[in-house]
Amino acid sequence: MNASMAVIEIAEPGGPEVLRLASRPIPQPGPGVVLIRVAAAGVNRPDVMQRKGLYPPPPGASDIPGLEVAGEIVAVDAPEAKARNPLPLGEGRVRAKPADRATASPQVLSLPDIGSKVCALVTGGGYAEYCLASAELCLPWPAGFDAVQAASLPETYFTVWSNLVDRARLHAGESLLVHGGSSGIGVAAIQLARALGAVVYATSGSAEKCRVCEELGAVAINYRERDFVAEIEARTEGRGVDVILDMVGGDYLQRNLSCLASEGRLVQIAVQNGPKASINLLPILLKRLTLTGSTLRARPVEQKASIAAALLERVWPLLGAGRIKPVIHARFPLALAAEAHRLMESGVHIGKIVLTV
């Protein structure tokens, strides 16, 4: 390997033009960490927020944007780290079990080693030729997937699984409303919920986006033309939905509460319309509602490793079998990261935007 690598830096908080191509030393992996030669990196809304100065990386994370990558492992822990660890990478280890499967037997899996093609959830550093990742957050490319498809998975499916299954406890026979159904998160949520046996409704802002949501198995609602609260009430005969996955926030909060059935759960994963809202608390009391939410980036590796184990067991087989498919809207070379961000902010994309390296 060369001593340096190409990266995309954020010169200062601002618009897409502040993303610049630069050179930095290739990082070296420490204990429990691997170095990935990046072939592709997903572009996500948190990257845009970081670029604007609204979502700083957690302590110890790279300041380079990018939260998901796919590529090949080219280095593992330093030798002194292996001396302290009786099981070097590549030998059988027990991954963390999903938190909601405490009674299940541990699944013995091989953690990745040099030469493995993996996709990984990272806390930063994805917009680069090389990226460090926790070994426990690396997953193999699903069967038949290329680097671009694999890079579109980690941030999306870690988020969707954690919130729909771990937090909202969505299960077969229930109903789900997804806001932003044509986004990368929305596309994944629709497909996963359908695979779990749920009925899915999705809001989107154009006829084309609604068509895609319908093709994925959701009942689509064009929020620019119809009131989603009235639509949900009519389509559920006044009952409401069991779970709502919302990335809008702001004035959607009260409307979401109106859409929930008794014992319903609202899961907040972003606040694109703002973090503050005035609400009437009575629906929460009368319908015994649960309001929850989460972020992913700053959570401990152990928690994210539990999600990784669940994805490998429950979701990766669906991807390999073609029951769930990534939707890639566009791909850009790394040097054109600013153009990828402009597309992301335009809102016209359907599914994922990916950088190729």
Q: Where are the alpha helices (DSSP H) in the chain?
A: 45-51, 79-84, 147-151, 154-160, 184-195, 207-215, 228-235, 252-259, 282-287, 301-310, 316-320, 337-346
Contact 76, 36 (CB under 8 A): no
In three-state secondary structure terms, 244 is strand
Can you count the helices (H) and strands (E) in the chain?
12, 17
Residue with tokens 């006829």: 207
Cα–Cα distance list, 242 to 62, 161, 279 (Å) = 38, 16, 20
Q: Are 190 and 217 in contact (CB under 8 A)?
A: yes
**SS3 for 316?**
helix
Identify which of 8, 13, 44 has the alpha carbon closest to the alpha carbon of residue 127.
Answer: 8
pLDDT at 1 (0 to 100): 61
274, 275, 276 from 250: Cα distances, Å: 5, 6, 6
- Give CA–CA dist 248/255, Å, rounded: 11
Q: What is the pTM of this model?
A: 0.90
Q: Give backbone dihedrals phi and psi of 237, rounded to 5 degrees, phi first.
A: 55, 40
Taking the C-alpha atoms of residue 318 and residue 333, their distance in angstroms, rounded to an integer, is: 29
**What CA–CA distance (Å, rounded) separates 246 from 233?**
18
Task: Tell whether the torsion through CA atoms of 61, 128, 326 and 52 is positive or negative.
Answer: positive
Tens of pLDDT along the chain (357 residues)? 679 999 999 999 999 999 999 999 999 999 999 999 999 999 999 999 999 999 999 999 999 999 999 999 999 975 533 433 333 333 333 343 344 333 333 343 457 889 999 999 999 999 999 999 999 999 999 999 999 999 999 999 999 999 999 999 999 999 999 999 999 999 999 999 999 999 999 999 999 999 999 999 999 999 999 999 999 999 999 999 999 999 999 999 999 999 999 999 999 999 999 999 999 999 999 999 999 999 999 999 999 999 999 999 999 999 999 999 999 999 999 999 999 999 999 999 999 999 999
CA–CA dist 206, 83 (Å, integer):
57
In b/e form, how buried is each residue of 218-250, taking b as 16+ CB within 10 angstroms? bbbbbbeeeebbebbeeebeeebbbbbbbbbbe
